[in-house]
Chain A
Amino acid sequence: MSTSAQTSPGAVDPGLYSPQLATIVGARNLTPMDRVFVVELPGRRDLGHKPGQFVQVSIFGYEEAPISVCSPPQQRGSFDLTVRNMGGLTAQLHRMGPGDRIGIRGPFGKGFPMESMRGKDVLIVAGGIGLAPLRSVTDSIFMERQAYERLIVLYGTRTPADILFPETLEAWAADPRNEVLVTVDVPTEDWTGHVGVVTTLFPKAHIDPSRTVVVALVGPPVMYRFVLTELRSIGIPEEQMFFSLERRMRCGVGKCGHCQVNNHRVCTDGPVFSATELRHMHESI
């Protein structure tokens, strides 16, 4: 099995593509489509990830899929993955529960710049399942709440049933230092909240552009363009906006070419990019 955790950069690791056999120790459905797993590496070793990084999840016979880690680095001995059932490997994963073994490689990529958020307001913009990986950021903030100023969460989903962590969102909203706004595209009869895409929440939130760092993961590429335009119009500087891009990372180590966006390899240069970087990446969003 992989020795990558012990290998220094530049050294040849014969197990570069070999997953470690990890154990699922917890699993529950968030929605009919989305299931969250708690995963332990052998010896309950820490994954050692940064918020925004991803792992390659492996099931032998079904190849690998890149999945963002959605727990904060401060969670010791295990980490969480939220997986949407999109068929193939993810469908197999949805049939699994505590005690099952899956392969893990990583963590890979560059995460969100947590350092640049310290002492600032943090604006989280999430679309659909994008909220799951962004919990690695929010939960990191909650671990050291005093190091950050206001936390603003703007979250859009398709229907009320698609809201990933409704109780958690309510708990966040109860703290006066936080502002949580949720909107749905398609309301049900009993829905009393906001209706519309996530960008319709921007005018409703209390955002001070000069002191706000934005992290966003908003689903379909077209949403990135809308969010970027909206953030620019309220005066947030591009170097304070960070977007996590979705690509088909196959190898995770900058070789296979699948996640290339212009001159960048999303798996090693990203998946998090600043809006300044995206400006030069025509194919990014």
Chain B
Amino acid sequence: MRHALIDEAALAGWLARLVETGRVMAPVRRGRVSFDFEWIDDPRDVALEYIRTVLPPKKAIMPAREPLLEFSRRGGLGAREQSASPVIDERPYVLFGVHPCDLAAIGMLDWSMGRRDARPDPHYLARRSAATIVGIECMPDRYCFCTSVGTCNTRAGADLFLTPVDGRYVAEVLTRRGERLLRKAPKLLRSTAGEAAKAAAWGHEKAERTTLRLAAQAPELADLIDSRWESDIFDQTAERCYSCGTCTNVCPTCFCFDVFDELDITLAAGTRARRYDSCQFEDFAVVAGPHNFRGERADRVRHRWFRKFVYLLREYGQAFCVGCGRCSHACTAKISLVDVINAVVAEARGSVTG
């Protein structure tokens, strides 16, 4: 594996070149403490020292609103002249500055939208293959718990990975695509063994600084939570929850969507588009009748924990959560994902021994 060293000036030149020659999505500062992944016009906007973005970099691969089809219904409803064609976006881009937890989340989306089924999602896979991904090392805050879900040192999914060392970055080349991207940097320095050691030490320090922990891990975690279907903790959590859907909207592993037809002003043509949906919304599981299979807020709250830590955990082999802390950080009601899990786990262990 090749390593190189990039100094601040070379990084700035490299980013400028990437923005000039192609599309780049990277974190930018949106407020005093908030950051977001944005398409970059001015490379000086890129803010690589961030803790977490509001929305995860998932938005590059699976945007909040995404066209699936362009349709024409010229001649009216039912007319012979109707047509539809899929919208597949294969334009290449660079996704720059992705933290290890978010790399792990992209791996989970690759599975859920691609490998999990006999029918992979063409829109997701096109955007995914069009991406060159540059990962970057981070330091946790009190919402992070990547060490509990095994995502702390994820490199898979990245083509290049950057670790800050003494005001410069050690760049780790992970794929040929990453190698080609790195060649666009104006000046690369040779990375010494000392810098490689410092880069490795970063990972250890990060793990030490990650103090928030899940009380159980996969696969045991699924059995513990599954044993507490009737737990009052979900009811108590529901009493605080507003069903606003913020937790799922900011989640890097959530992939539920709804589909809407948007007509243009002529009413003769339009776009069938999907948008993020949330299992926390009251009407998510409504069917004709009408009947709502998760009409109680507590049912929806429980569904969120069960889906990530029981159902998908058992299918995928790991919790469907990367420990990024976005949901707890963004929650209107200050509900902590970790607190709920740990309370349920404690209850499960108590009821097993007692």
Interface of A with B (CB < 8 Å)?
1, 9-10, 12-19, 21, 24, 59-64, 84, 86, 92, 95-96, 99-103, 220-221, 246-248, 250-251, 253-258, 260-263, 268, 282-283
B122, A96: Cβ atoms closer than 8 Å: no
Q: Which residue of B lies closest to A221 (CB)?
A: B291
Given the interface pairs A256-B257, A256-B259, the reply to whether A220 lies near B289 with Cβ below 8 Å is: yes
B261 interface residue per 8 A CB criterion: yes
A223 to B183, CA, bound (A): 66
A246, B287: Cβ atoms closer than 8 Å: yes
Q: Which residue of A lies closest to B257 (CB)?
A: A256
Name A's interface SS.
loop
Which stretch (B73-81, B138-146, B336-344) binds chain A?
A: B73-81
A163 to B78, CA, bound (A): 29
Contacts of B72 in A (CB 8 A): 60
Contacts of A254 in B (CB 8 A): 116-117, 119
B272, A257: Cβ atoms closer than 8 Å: no
Contacts of A102 in B (CB 8 A): 78
B 160-178 contacts with A by CB, 8 A: none
A94 to B240, CA, bound (A): 44
Would you give the shortest CB distance from A188 to chain B, in whole angstroms?
24
B119, A9: Cβ atoms closer than 8 Å: yes
Given contacts A18-B84, A21-B84, A59-B77, 9 further A-B contacts (CB under 8 A): A60-B261, A61-B270, A247-B287, A248-B285, A250-B257, A251-B259, A254-B117, A255-B121, A256-B274
Given the interface pairs A250-B258, A283-B299, the reply to whether A10 lies near B120 with Cβ below 8 Å is: yes
B 94-132 contacts with A by CB, 8 A: 112-113, 116-123, 125
20 sampled A-B residue pairs with Cβ under 8 A: A9-B118, A17-B86, A60-B71, A60-B77, A92-B77, A100-B79, A220-B291, A221-B291, A246-B288, A247-B285, A247-B287, A248-B287, A250-B259, A255-B113, A255-B257, A256-B256, A260-B311, A263-B311, A268-B117, A283-B303
Interface of B with A (CB < 8 Å)?
68-69, 71-73, 77-80, 82-86, 88, 112-113, 116-123, 125, 229, 255-261, 263, 267, 270, 272, 274, 277, 279, 284-289, 291, 293-294, 299, 303, 306-307, 310-311, 314-315
Given the interface pairs A12-B120, A258-B277, the reply to whether A283 lies near B314 with Cβ below 8 Å is: no
B307, A260: Cβ atoms closer than 8 Å: yes
A209 to B188, CA, bound (A): 78
A1 to B72, CA, bound (A): 12
A61, B255: Cβ atoms closer than 8 Å: no
A13 to B120, CA, bound (A): 8
A256 to B68, CA, bound (A): 13
B82, A21: Cβ atoms closer than 8 Å: yes
Q: Which residue of B lies closest to A10 (CB)?
A: B118
Would you give the shortest CB distance from A6 to chain B, in whole angstroms?
14
B117, A12: Cβ atoms closer than 8 Å: no
A84 to B290, CA, bound (A): 13
A14, B284: Cβ atoms closer than 8 Å: no
B86, A221: Cβ atoms closer than 8 Å: no
A204 to B68, CA, bound (A): 52
Contacts of A14 in B (CB 8 A): 86, 88, 122
Would you give the shortest CB distance from A112 to chain B, in whole angstroms?
20
Contacts of B311 in A (CB 8 A): 260, 262-263
Would you give the shortest CB distance from B199 to chain A, in whole angstroms?
37
Partner of A61, one of B263, B299, B306: B263
B86, A15: Cβ atoms closer than 8 Å: yes
Partner of B288, one of A12, A84, A100: A84
A63, B86: Cβ atoms closer than 8 Å: no
A262, B84: Cβ atoms closer than 8 Å: no
Q: Which residue of A lies closest to B289 (CB)?
A: A220
Q: Which residue of B lies closest to A261 (CB)?
A: B293
A14 to B121, CA, bound (A): 8
Would you give the shortest CB distance from A103 to chain B, in whole angstroms?
7
In the A-B complex, list the 6 residue pairs whose CB atoms are closest, starting with the nearest.
Answer: A100-B78, A257-B256, A9-B118, A263-B311, A60-B71, A60-B73
B293, A63: Cβ atoms closer than 8 Å: no
Would you give the shortest CB distance from B24 to chain A, in whole angstroms?
26
Q: Which residue of B lies closest to A262 (CB)?
A: B311
B270, A18: Cβ atoms closer than 8 Å: no
B120, A256: Cβ atoms closer than 8 Å: no
B79, A101: Cβ atoms closer than 8 Å: yes
A187 to B241, CA, bound (A): 46
A258 to B258, CA, bound (A): 8
